[in-house]
Amino acid sequence: MNTLARTALAIGASALLVSCGSGGASGSAVVPPQSARRHHGTGSGSIQHIVLMIQENRTFNDLFAGFPGATSSKTGLELVPNPSGTGYVQKKIKLTKEPLTSHHNPAHLYSAFLTGWDSGAMDAFNLIKAVKNGLPEGKTAYQYVDPTTIAPYWTIADQWGLADELFQTQGSDSFTAHQDLIRGGTCISTVYTCQNPSGSTLSLLDPPTNKPWGCDAPAGTKTTLINGNLQVMQAQGPFPCSKDFADYGSGGYNTLRDLLDAKSVSWKYYTPKFKHGGPGSSLWNAFDVIAPVRYGSEWTDGHIASPETTIFTDLQNGTLPAMSWVIPKGPNSDHPGYPSKDTGPSWVASVVDAVGNSQYWDSTAVIIVWDDWGGFYDPVAPPTPRDDEGGPGLRVPMLVVSPYVPIGTGTQGGYVSHTTYEFGSIIRFIEDTFNLGRLGTTDTTCTSMGDMFDFKQSPRQFQTIPSVYKKAYFTHQKASDLPVDTD
């Protein structure tokens, strides 16, 4: 094996991903015939509402190892010293089965990704260095979650849609991942420069130097950047607030909020209550980075909806917006290392059930995604060539619940998509659904996830997702200062 100092620089930069086509039939908006349209609203067809639920820090293989019809493995590869004394050799390792509440929290910064990825060999996760002591983590990454502790996720996958080829935009952590889920990338240069693989691009990478991660960060907070030649500029970037990006050549750090507002399409970001200047859920408002939101009327007029359980009230009162992001409270996050109860799957099921049993069922798509890889093993290498933001990263799961998910081969009609997606695919689907145009990030190059819908079929009837904890548990749950994530 070549030295572990190999990085993506050896592969070179490219503005286009193999996984992200330039459009075509699979990337175009899917508009059903007029006879199939049942609602009037801002959507282009049968889908008038999109609910994007975001969970934390798991690879696809960590949650769905062994799921029927999906690409996964219960064994992995590690690198061990060559008995001859020169270099390393691959060795097969059996993955351990862990509960969702396991306290392992592997490193998952960009440097950790490069190590585990090993230029596509996917064999060096044991050599990832722990953040706390800088020592190799050994077998920590080589696990998968016991399906019995995440039963609602497997039930959803067996009934509805599961994508087993969704790749995180960057091989980084949650700060940039949550930006990717509102805009499809973290380039802070002009959009034209961001599409130019000349090395002149600058994109956010890894977490800022202080919390909270956004405009409310303490003075002096810096971000880390990656340039178009995939060189990491540690803590050399701007303050984590979009108004501070202009000095770095930004021609506008637009998000879906800009496109939605321009077309008068309603939206809300359901998140745990923000605590100004303090710990906790303030880390998990992606729009805290977006100065026009943070310092504008949308911060307080209901677009930022706290607590996150407000979505239940909106579903009941008939006030669900066209576009929703839903962030869990800290105790209900799937973040490895600190859930004391396996409430995350029940939290997701409670929202899905609330949608499925509401007036919105036959006009809604619920998308559930995990924001980053969390440091866990996955056997599937990301597509190449690399792009100039350091991606794509590792596989993460995506579930889709909608009456228009195709009927598949699962025991309850579940459909497994093997199409290669990135987070930009989700952004593109949102843009196409509401006729928003393009942001000009990875939405322009990624295939839309429109193939996870069949608008010619009769709408499927909703089936309640069994779970341990019900909606009442979450609406009466005590307030918590535990952040949704810390890395």
Tens digits of residue pLDDT in 268-327: 999 987 665 444 444 579 999 999 999 999 999 999 999 999 999 999 999 999 999 999
pTM of this structure = 0.89
What percent of the chain has a predicted confidence (pLDDT) above 90? Answer: 71
Q: Tell me the pLDDT band of 45, cut-offs 50, 70 and 90.
A: confident
pLDDT at 292: 96
pLDDT at 128: 96
Helices (H), 108-150: 110-117
Query: Cα Rg for the chain, rounded, in angstroms?
Result: 21
Q: Find where tokens 């745990």 sit.
A: 272
CA-to-CA distance for 135 and 146, rounded, in angstroms? 27
Domains of the chain with bracketed CATH: 8-475 (3.40.720.10)
Q: Tell me the pLDDT band of 13, cut-offs 50, 70 and 90.
A: very low
485 backbone dihedrals φ, ψ, rounded to 5°: -160, 160
CA-to-CA distance for 36 and 33, rounded, in angstroms? 6
CA-to-CA distance for 367 and 423, rounded, in angstroms? 11
Three-state SS for 118? Answer: helix
Asked if residue 244 has pLDDT above 60, the reply is yes
247 backbone dihedrals φ, ψ, rounded to 5°: -65, -10
Residues, the chain: 487
CA-to-CA distance for 295 and 397, rounded, in angstroms? 34
Contact between 79 and 1 (Cβ < 8 Å): yes
Kindly report the number of other CB atoms within 10 A of residue 389's CB atom.
30
Give 442-485 pLDDT, tens digit per residue.
999 999 998 999 999 999 999 999 999 999 999 998 876 665 55
Contact partners, residue 61, CB within 8 Å, separation at least 6: 72, 73, 144, 376, 377, 378, 379, 380, 395
